């Protein structure tokens, strides 16, 4: 009996040691490039992405995994919707997330999670109903007329805390059920953040932040990277005398509007202000997620293309 107990203990110890052997998926620098490492081995993503609403039901997804495998993919990008995993505040349901993980794992596929949290193509479409119906606690961005927009304000601590808690809890759960299998190898933090039809949030708190001028941390970054900045930013800052502090317009120039000429940096101070604020918001979400499960995180955005998007906040589809 003692021998059997000792044998079982040794087997359990060996299993636990083996189960903790892999590092989480991560990036390693190799020469001048970054390499994705999964289960301690280099991994090349051959990926595809599902439609925004495809993964809203486990039953619908069952045949999709085999279809993805037949396309010779090894990774699938799939949305996870905040409103479905936290239908009630503080009460999480990961049944759908688990079905995604197990369905992909069965076909030997990996997953990249697309977090549809506070923002999806700028709008707050996928936030839970308890967020949508309480704009007093979870405020919206506003246009220049003072009208509330269908997107959460990044100037709200309540919005940030709620989103960060949900994202962190999601990654905690994924770590618990998948760390050793490493089906999930990366996650996208939000989706295409920004504001349609407005260069910035015009709410009272946002306007106050805009009037306070360029934050000190951004000015330190500019100074540390002078001569190496993104060309448009470098050009604008240089044209205004490389100011070391001041308002957004003092540092980056007066705001102009030329809707028919996308090559003119229309609304540049407002655009850079918005970029800074959204970057700060998303960065804090990423930090919360990394605390839970330090897998690679990424963001996406749409570029300003000549003849397509026009000036910031004025998305124009091409004419057929």
pLDDT given for residue 320 in this prediction: 41
pLDDT band per the 50, 70, 90 thresholds, residue 14: low
d(CA 315, CA 302): 10
Q: Please give the CATH topology (third level) of the domain spanning 17-210+268-298.
A: TIM Barrel (3.20.20)
Specify the range with the lowest mean pLDDT, choosing from 151-165, 173-187, 192-206.
192-206
For the chain, the farthest-separated pair of C-alpha atoms sits apart, in whole angstroms, at 85
As a whole-number percent, the residues of the chain with pLDDT over 70 amount to 88
CB 166 within 8 A of CB 117: yes
Which residue carries 């997107």 as its tokens? 151
- Annotate 264-299 with b (16+ C-beta within 10 A) or e (fewer): ebbbbbbbbbbbbbbeebbebbbebbeebbebbbeb
d(CA 115, CA 136): 24
**Domain ranges for the chain:** 17-210+268-298
Render pLDDT for 107-133 as a digit per residue (tens, 0 to 9).
999 999 999 999 999 999 999 999 999
pTM: 0.88
Residue 22 has pLDDT above 70, yes or no: yes
């Amino acid at each position: 009996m003692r021998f059997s107990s000792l044998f079982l203990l040794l087997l359990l110890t060996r299993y636990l040691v083996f189960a903790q052997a892999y590092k989480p998926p991560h990036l390693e620098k190799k020469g001048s490039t970054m390499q994705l490492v999964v289960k301690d081995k280099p991994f090349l993503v051959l990926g595809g992405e599902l439609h925004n609403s495809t993964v809203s039901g486990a039953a619908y997804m069952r045949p999709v995994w085999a279809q993805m495998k037949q396309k010779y993919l090894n990774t699938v990008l799939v949305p996870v919707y905040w409103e479905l995993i936290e239908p009630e505040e503080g009460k999480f349901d990961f049944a759908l997330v688990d079905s995604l993980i197990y369905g992909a794992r069965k076909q030997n596929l990996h997953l990249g999670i697309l977090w549809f949290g506070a923002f999806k193509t700028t709008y707050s479409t996928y936030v839970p109903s308890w967020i949508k119906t309480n704009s007093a606690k979870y405020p919206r961005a506003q246009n220049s007329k003072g009208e509330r927009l269908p997107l959460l304000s990044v100037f709200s601590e309540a919005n940030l805390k709620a989103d960060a808690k949900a994202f962190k809890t999601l990654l905690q759960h994924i770590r618990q059920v998948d760390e050793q299998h490493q089906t999930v190898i990366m996650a996208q933090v939000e989706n295409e953040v920004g504001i349609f039809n407005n260069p910035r949030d015009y709410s009272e708190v946002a306007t106050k932040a805009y009037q306070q001028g360029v934050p000190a941390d951004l000015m330190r970054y500019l100074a540390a990277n002078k001569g190496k900045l993104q060309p448009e930013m470098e050009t604008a800052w240089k044209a205004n005398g490389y100011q070391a502090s001041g308002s957004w317009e003092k540092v980056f120039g007066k705001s102009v509007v030329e809707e028919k000429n996308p090559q003119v940096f229309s609304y540049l101070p407002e655009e850079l202000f918005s970029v800074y604020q959204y970057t700060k918001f998303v960065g804090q979400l990423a930090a919360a997620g990394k605390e839970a499960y330090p897998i690679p995180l990424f963001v996406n955005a749409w570029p300003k293309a000549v003849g397509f998007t026009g000036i910031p906040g004025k998305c124009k589809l091409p004419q057929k």
